[in-house]
Chains A and B, each alone.
Chain A
Amino acid sequence: MKFLDQAPRFLFFTGKGGVGKTSIACASALELARLNKRVLLVSTDPASNVGQVFGISIGNQITNVAEVPNLSALEIDPQAAAQAYRDRIVGPVRGVLPESVVKGIEEQLSGACTTEIAAFDEFTGLLTDGALTQEFDHIIFDTAPTGHTIRMLQLPGAWSGFLEDGKGDASCLGPLAGLEKQRTQYKAAVDALADPLKTRLVLVARAQAATLNEAVRTHGELAGTGLSKQYLVINGVFPESEAVHDPLAQAIFKREQAVLAHLPKALCDLPTDQIALKAFNLFGLAALKQLLDTESTVLAMPDVPLVVPKINAPNLASLVDEIALDGHGLVMLMGKGGVGKTTLAAAVAVELATRGFPVHLTTSDPAAHLMETLHGTLEHLTVSRIDPHEATEQYRAQVLASKGAKLDAAGRAVLEEDLRSPCTEEIAVFQAFSRVIREAGKKFVVMDTAPTGHTLLLLDATGAYHRDIVRQMGGSGRHFTTPMMQLQDPKQTKVLIVTLAETTPVLEAANLQTDLRRAGIEPWAWVINNTVAATAVTSPLLKARAHNELREIEAVATRHASRYALVPILKDEPIGVQRLQFLSKQGA
Chain B
Amino acid sequence: MKKVQVFDPALCCSSGVCGTELDQALVTFSADVDWAQQNGLQIERFNLAQQPMAFAENAAVKGMLERSGEAALPITLVDGEVAFAGRYPTRDDLGRWLGAVASASELPAADPQAAPSGKCCSGGACC
Residues of A within 8 A of B (CB): 89-90, 92-93, 96-98, 100-102, 104-105, 107-114, 117, 169-175, 177-178, 399, 403-404, 406-408, 410-412, 414-415, 418-419, 421, 423-424, 426-427, 430-431, 461, 464-465, 467-468, 471
Contacts and interface: CB of A to CB of B under 8 A. Distances in A.
A397 to B, nearest CB: 13
B13 interface: yes
B62 interface: yes
Contact of A108 (B34, B45, B49): B49
Interface of B: 9-15, 17-20, 22, 24, 27-28, 30-35, 37-38, 44-45, 47-53, 55-56, 62, 65-66, 69-70, 108, 111, 113, 122-127
A424 B15 CA distance: 12
Given A98-B65, A109-B125, A111-B125, A421 B18 contact: yes
Contact of B17 (A110, A419, A468): A419
Contacts of A98: 65-66, 69
Contacts of A97: 52, 55-56, 62, 65
B12 A108 contact: yes
B65 A407 contact: no
Contact of B70 (A104, A109, A111, A174): A104
A406 B28 contact: yes
Contact of A100 (B20, B24, B70): B70
Contacts of A114: 127
B126 A112 contact: yes
Contacts of B53: 92-93
Contact of B15 (A108, A415, A427): A415
B13 A423 contact: yes
Contact of B35 (A93, A408, A423, A426): A408
Interface residues of chain A: helix, strand, loop or mixed (majority): helix
A426 B69 contact: no
Contact of A421 (B17, B37, B45): B17
Contacts of B33: 169-170
B6 to A, nearest CB: 9
A92 B52 CA distance: 8
Contact of B127 (A96, A102, A109, A170): A109
A97 B24 CA distance: 28
B25 to A, nearest CB: 10
Contact of B18 (A102, A415, A427): A427
Nearest to A462: B20
